[in-house]
A and B are shown apart, each in its own frame.
Chain A
Amino acid sequence: MTRNRLAKPLLFYSFASLLAVFALIPFFWMVSTSLKSKGALISIPIEWIPEKISFEGYNKIFTVFPFAKAIFNSLFVSIASTSLVIASALMAAYVFAKIEFKGREVVFALFLATMMVPGQVTMIPVFLVLKEFQLLNSFTGLLLPTIFNPFAIFMLRQHIKTIHNDFVDAAFIDGASQANIFLRIIVPLSMPIVATLGIVTFMGAWNDYFWPLIVLSDKELMTLPLALNSLNGQYASEYNTLMAGSLISMLPIILLYIFAQGFFKTGLQLGGIK
């Protein structure tokens, strides 16, 4: 019995720590590399901890590349696309959840059905259309497609459906307009799920690589993943610079996650149910 009582935690901590090491070693290596001078990168045997701390990589990334601009671009794009997704999805979700009309289920089914087609099918025509309207290489072109997000609509509709009809009916009898009901009742009562969706969308936009890669090519417009990718092409051997950039690019998201952990957990579990 005593043996068992000791064995269980021991087993837990050894397995959990093993996985934790697997998860953390790459970050350890990233931080260590980012603090090395160029010469120390290729020393043999390898230096696990840099013998001499050097900020060469951090200096270089801001001097040879508009990296500060990329940070700003990423912030702008992520905030803008999160706002667009939430505003348009909340409005649609409200209609699908609370207003009865003929053909509603059919329209909703059509919205959901589009989730089945992989993005690779639609991206070529969307690219061609954006090109025709000269919206390539602009944030407008990058952000416009986010106004339709079936997953967000679905998630919000499931939530708004659970808001009791009595709230809506009572306001209606008091003469409140639909816009008032939406803004004063539905939106405030949806805040927890909106926060979750917002965090998930923000992270998705912050980390997105594929769509910006297709739409943006101007150095001044690049978001962080694109900036890193472009540095990877130019400074392929200067890993101190690349790792400094990677570290900077992930810090805001890790901080956001630590602050918003509670929201995020429920969000992922909801995402899992979809």
Chain B
Amino acid sequence: MQSERNRKKWLTIILFLLPSTIGLLVFSVIPIVYSLVISFTDWNGLNPWNLAAGTPDFIGFGNFKSILEGEEFWRVLKNTMYYIVLYIPLILIASVLAAVLLNNTYKAIGLYRVIFFIPVLTSWVAAALIWKWLLSDEYGPINAILSFVGIDGPAWLQDRIWAMPGIVFASIWKDMGFFALIILGGLQAINPTYYEAAHMDGANFWSRFIRITLPLLSPMLFFVLIMCVINSFQLFPQVMIMTQDAGPYGSTQVMVERIYKFAFKYYKMGYASSFSWILFVIIFVFTAVQMKLQKKWVHYDS
């Protein structure tokens, strides 16, 4: 009886875990190992089962060396940093502002919630197409509005300096609602007695916001920051669609775009794999550093 029951239990475990485990092995564990192996080769990806049959040349750290010594990688990293420096402060301000607004009880709140969220629902391809047209040099409404106030707008996406800010605008527009909703969850978890106490002490809106809201919100902001940084390093569709083939003078070339091109356009599978591992290390290091730094500014209410 006991062993019969045990046999059935294991049968259930095996059957129920089968689809996911096959998926885990075939689409995650094996590819991770495989990718690491080919990152040490110079290979075009032909005959994937014949790794040892001579087609791929094992070149050790050759790819990593040529990536890190080349000029391209550093340009790509600089472009991403430019994006991050513009994007992170703006997205944090915009989504906190939106969340604070949505944390009210005014009648129209449901409508605003839908409106702020519509960009999130849009596919990146559609969003990027819209923004490409909005930012168009002569016929785009953004430059039309700018000329209204006497500013001669740049040819955004054709300009090596302005192409990235153009992409940042589109990203803020697209992401604001999503992060606002996450931050709103944090706001609603704050115990109202804190505000009542501060109110008694005569604190005004601004000092309540700085002294109570922000510290108590810091775990949420930390989470949002981590996600934003990870997403920034994985920037892709905006670049592909808005600045076809990565901007004037490669000014919007970023890492995933490079990996995509090397792998699926130039069939340099080894080189692209090395690039993807460097991306992984960068994301890992940035996340670890932020985890370390959080002690300095994140307060957990316990």
Q: Which residues of A contact B (CB under 8 A)?
A: 9, 12-13, 15-16, 19-20, 22-27, 29-30, 33, 41-42, 44-46, 48, 87-89, 91-92, 94-95, 99, 101, 107, 110-111, 114, 116-118, 120-129, 131-132, 144-145, 147-150, 153, 177-179, 182, 203, 206-207, 209-210, 213-214, 224-226, 228-229, 232-233, 239, 242-243, 245-246, 249-250, 253-254, 257-258, 261, 265, 268-269, 271-272
Contacts and interface: CB of A to CB of B under 8 A. Distances in A.
A177 B127 CA distance: 49
Contact of B48 (A89, A117, A132, A243): A132
A257 B117 contact: yes
Interface centre among B9, B13, B130, by most A CB within 10 Å? B130
In order of increasing CB-CB distance, the 10 nearest A-B pairs are A148-B23, A207-B123, A125-B31, A246-B126, A125-B34, A122-B31, A88-B19, A92-B20, A225-B125, A147-B23
Interface string B247-268: 0000000011001100110000
B277 A121 contact: yes
Contacts of A265: 181
B198 interface: no
B74 interface: no
Interface centre among B106, B118, B260, B277, by most A CB within 10 Å? B118
B32 A128 contact: no
Contact of A114 (B13, B24, B34, B131): B24
Nearest to B26: A129
B293 interface: no
B24 A120 contact: no
Contacts of A9: 106
A53 B204 CA distance: 52
A26 B131 CA distance: 7
B130 A126 contact: no
B122 interface: yes
A269 B130 contact: no
Nearest to B133: A239
Interface in B4-30: 8-10, 12-13, 15-17, 19-24, 26-30
Interface residues of B, number: 88
Contacts of B273: 121, 124
B112 A20 contact: yes
Contacts of B241: 229, 232
Contact of B115 (A20, A228, A245, A261): A20
- From DSSP, what is the main secondary structure of chain B's interface residues? helix
Given A228-B126, A250-B121, A16 B20 contact: no
Nearest to B12: A178
Contacts of B115: 20, 23-24
B297 interface: no
B101 A125 contact: no
Given A114-B28, A121-B277, A125-B31, A249 B123 contact: yes
Nearest to A26: B130
18 contacts: A12-B104, A16-B101, A46-B140, A111-B24, A118-B279, A121-B32, A121-B35, A122-B27, A125-B38, A177-B8, A178-B16, A207-B124, A209-B125, A246-B129, A250-B121, A253-B122, A254-B118, A257-B118
Given A178-B12, A209-B123, A148 B28 contact: yes
A243 B133 contact: yes
B123 A225 contact: yes
B20 A153 contact: yes
B139 A29 contact: no
